[in-house]
Amino acid sequence: MKNTRLTHRVALVTGASSGLGRAVALRLAHEGAHVAVNYNRSEVAAHQVVSAIEALGVRSICVQADVSDPASVLAMANAVQDRLGPIELLVANAGITRYVPGRDLGGVTKPMWDTILGVNVVGSFLCVQAAVPQMEAAGAGSIVLISSNSAFTAEGSSIPYVVSKAAVVTLTQTLARVLPSAIRVNAIAPGWMATRWLDTYFPDNVKEELLQNAPLTAVDDVADAAVSLLGNESANGAVLVVDGGEAAGRERSRS
């Protein structure tokens, strides 16, 4: 059953050419939303997502932007407004990491901090900053930021990544407090997912170990949770952990 609160709304999903972003974009399209698919470098894949969305009978466009660059983000938001209408739904999914084992403090560099925080935290803020005026003009808005259960387990691909995702939790709660009441901000904190993320950022041996031993979370379950929060008018400032209980210390089977 469709959530009519999302039907005909204009949505922007960043980092939507693959993985979780793609799943969220398609899920929104199934709900009847018109979806702008952001990408940074994966143009061909982004156009494929747009084609899949349009096949569902709603409108979709590709919008290129580096979310860590303010001018690029503002141009993206303006392009969405010009071609689809004011942004009413935002999922700030674009993220980045670098793999450095936690004990390897010397392997963490300042440029690494700058890049990871610049995309994961500052990039999320810049997208909100650009979308909020359009949401205010539209009279309402709903935002979901993508954190990670790393924010609660203190484990992940690197220390900068873990810290960045913890910062996204605080950013979510701060924005929920300071933005107009008609604009809601929530976050999803997923566990490990078997997406292109593992291929991009992890050495083969580490990736294989994760796939064999880590409790994996289904991408579609995370996408469903994100879209549900977008349409839940009673949720604001919430952080929903979707990881099968991993952050809570619960063991689960890999059936």
Beta bridge partners of 93: none
Nearest C-alpha neighbor of 123 from the set 221, 38, 197, 242: 38
Contact call for residues 78 and 91 (beta carbons, < 8 A)? no
Rg (C-alpha) for the chain, rounded Å, is 17
For residue 208, the SS3 value is helix
In 31-122, alpha helices (H): 43-54, 70-83, 110-117
Using the structure block, give the residue that is written with the tokens 């059953």.
Answer: 1
- Residue 184 is which amino acid? R
Q: What Å distances lie between residue 7 and 33, 54, 82, 83, 199, CA to CA?
A: 5, 14, 19, 17, 34
Structural contact between residues 113 and 100, judged by C-beta atoms closer than 8 angstroms: no
SS3 for 222? Answer: helix
Residue 175 burial by Cβ neighbours in a 10 Å radius (0-12, 13-18, 19+)? buried
99 has catalytic annotation: no
Encoded tokens for 173 = 């709660």
Check 39, 99, 161, 201 and give the catalytic one. Answer: 161
Residues assigned a catalytic role: 161
